A and B are shown apart, each in its own frame.
Chain A
């Protein structure tokens, strides 16, 4: 798939052959490995690119579901405010069965996931993405198994720990137990919208899933009916017997169409709706992150004020603790600015992301609706053709005298 880097309006130079930057990824060839409880599926991830940051034009690596989870978690942590594309659920139960359908659904979902990242203007520049697409399997395994702690031990985040500890202390000192919340009307509206949207989309998805099942049941009943027609036809000796047999055969043929359509419906209509639900849930997680960031920003701002007052006091009394307090104050100021910056980044990103999300969903749903319509039309036409083709035969049989 094609991916365009934003080139503001400039046209290509006519002299050099146009070499648009592209990054194209595909998830293919699922293979079941391992046995019993430890069984898992591995996928081939093929990257084709001409971007300089990548080694070579084509790279193939082997990845498993937990590698994708690692990537998602890293991106979620580093790109707060961005609606990270959702992953298919980690179903422990279906794993045992590993039906072909389940494997295909998962492969498809993972392919969509990685492509969404690769086509997102900020996310596509992530180091972690590059690692995911290029690192060898051993490195990947090592990285994956490091993801056990909640906090990643990076120098910048040490400050985070301190901040958290300090804010907890200040909470106790100040007697403030209640979490601080934004009073942004637009954001409130968004939150309300997202929470309600989840309910609505989930309901649509539920019915879509049921519809798939109904197709299968309808198909089965037609198949059974066909067989019953044929058995009764075998009882009859004359033209009526032949009529029953033909009807039976036709019923069975139509039943196959229904099973095929059920599969198509699952992958092209129900899954996109499921994906929509997941996306909304991912936004909810981002909303929570924003709330956290806001809280930290507020609390640090509060703490700073107190420290300022304290520092002034110390300076007045020419205490020898001034130096230490000044240093502490400087660190806290930096942390506070950092927290504010983080919060503001999230707000900015969310605004952009919300627009992108709505456009993406309109497109995704449009495609899903189109596939739904095509599939149902195909099915209905198949039915009509099959049944219609029987009519002249039945007419012929009924005109044959017994």
Chain B
């Protein structure tokens, strides 16, 4: 059931917020023993085990021809999908896929690792499904619908210089993410440093946007780091509050057991109240924190978008490089033809070998002109993708961040109020000590 209310953006009926295209892997990734691909180095008959994930996709987009699709995929397929999408969707901010990294996974229990990966894959697929262009792509469709093994799709001819591999570890702790981004940014910057003297980007507006994006990325990364520090601080204070509560629980029990005087019983009762308040407060901090993590996760998401944007921009640079390279080629080819024609015209009757050469060169020019046309088309296409993506980024960013800020603030306020209640109760319970006046002033 599709809603057509918000059609003002002129899109052909696929409005992001109305359609539902979710991927919901079920709880249990199953282990499949596959003997098909022996690992190099092992015995030929060695069996390898790998995990597959059950991917459930629900949609109301009519183009899919159904409302629910269930397939099994392994991580390798996800990687393949991601690579394919970067090839076919150059210039778009293609969401970055989960990390392949094996190192950290070896430190975890395999259960934990698989669960983490499952969550990452789910998030990734949903990001793809949320992208207005990618959600309609053949590659994603095939991945989500085609039963059995996803066939290896033929790779397109790649004329551009190698891109730096773009991966991200989503759902990881922000700290790792930060490190990876720093390294990646370094490598991306370095690559561009190499390419710079050759590519002449003349679009001033684009250059300004790029610079702005770099600054924005830096500040976002900084904010993300501080957000992480906040989460840790909230966790710590909650923990200590809880431990303080437990210490008072022990004291309460001790004084109650050993009580000789009434004053001890009174104190035990007071300490019990303190313990209760502290333990409650500790719990509230924990809850506050798990919400805070969810809200501030948006920041990490956008850092991923920054990575995708970097890739999209380097797609553009390399496409431009291709155009300019071909242009230079053409120019030099044409001047060679000119020279040859000039030389050949001086000879009466023509110069057979030179004439042949000129013909060859003219053929090369035709081919090169074709190549250049398609390169220009490609470049213009990428430029347009960049532009529309930047526009989309501006709008979505505004909405997402406003949402995030509001949720963050409301969450903080809500829990602060709950905590105030806890402590006001204790204030009341210990009120007699204030009224009696102090015999010894602290």
Contact = CB atoms under 8 A, between A and B. Distances in A.
Contacts of B422: 380
Contact of A228 (B222, B243, B409, B413): B222
Contacts of B281: 376
B438 A367 contact: yes
A369 B216 contact: no
A203 interface: yes
Interface residues of B, number: 73
B430 A369 contact: yes
A92 interface: no
A203 B247 contact: yes
Contacts of A231: 219, 222-223
B240 A240 contact: no
A366 B244 contact: no
A367 B442 contact: yes
Given A204-B251, A207-B240, A362-B264, A384 B226 contact: no
A232 B220 contact: yes
Contacts of B215: 235
Contacts of B431: 370
Nearest to B274: A369
Given A111-B441, A204-B248, A208-B244, A380 B420 contact: yes
A228 B271 CA distance: 40
Given A272-B442, A384-B420, A193 B409 contact: no
Contacts of A268: 442
Interface stretch (A136-144, A159-167, A388-396): A388-396
Contacts of B441: 1, 111-112, 115
A287 to B, nearest CB: 16
A58 to B, nearest CB: 19
Nearest to B268: A362
Nearest to B411: A387
Contacts of B398: 238-240, 402
A180 interface: no
- Among B427, B439, B440, the one with the most A-chain Cβ atoms within 10 Å of its Cβ is B440
A367 B248 CA distance: 16
B162 interface: no
A391 B410 CA distance: 7
A230 to B, nearest CB: 10
Interface string A195-216: 0110011011011101100110
Contacts of B419: 376, 380, 383
B408 to A, nearest CB: 8
Contact of A377 (B232, B394, B424): B424
Interface string A349-371: 00000110011011111111111
Interface of B: 212, 215-216, 219-220, 222-223, 225-227, 229-230, 232-234, 236-237, 240-241, 243-244, 247-248, 250-251, 254, 258, 260-261, 263-264, 266-267, 270-271, 273-274, 277, 281, 394-395, 397-398, 401-402, 405-406, 408-410, 412-413, 416-417, 419-420, 422-424, 426-427, 429-434, 436, 438-442
Given A204-B251, A272-B442, A247 B233 contact: no
A236 B95 CA distance: 23
A381 interface: yes
A200 B219 contact: no
Contacts of B258: 189, 193, 196
Q: Is the interface of B mostly helix, strand, loop or mixed?
A: helix
**Interface residue tally on A, bucketed by range:** 35 or more
Nearest to B265: A362
A221 B226 CA distance: 7
A325 interface: no
Given A228-B219, A238-B398, A200 B254 contact: yes
A228 B422 CA distance: 31
A116 B440 contact: yes
A391 B442 contact: no
23 contacts: A112-B442, A115-B441, A119-B439, A196-B254, A196-B258, A203-B247, A204-B248, A207-B243, A210-B240, A210-B244, A211-B244, A221-B233, A228-B222, A228-B227, A231-B223, A240-B401, A365-B271, A368-B442, A369-B273, A369-B433, A373-B430, A376-B281, A398-B406
B237 A214 contact: yes
Contact of A217 (B236, B263, B423, B438): B236
Nearest to A205: B247
- Among B247, B260, B281, the one with the most A-chain Cβ atoms within 10 Å of its Cβ is B247
A215 B413 contact: no
A231 B261 CA distance: 60
Contacts of A234: 219
The 3 closest A-B pairs by CB, nearest first: A383-B416, A366-B433, A380-B420
B426 A373 contact: yes
B440 A115 contact: yes
Contacts of A211: 237, 240-241, 244
A386 to B, nearest CB: 8
Given A211-B244, A231-B223, A380-B419, 5 more contacts: A111-B441, A196-B258, A217-B237, A243-B402, A359-B263
Interface string A114-129: 0110010000000000
Contacts of A391: 406, 409-410, 413
A383 B413 contact: yes
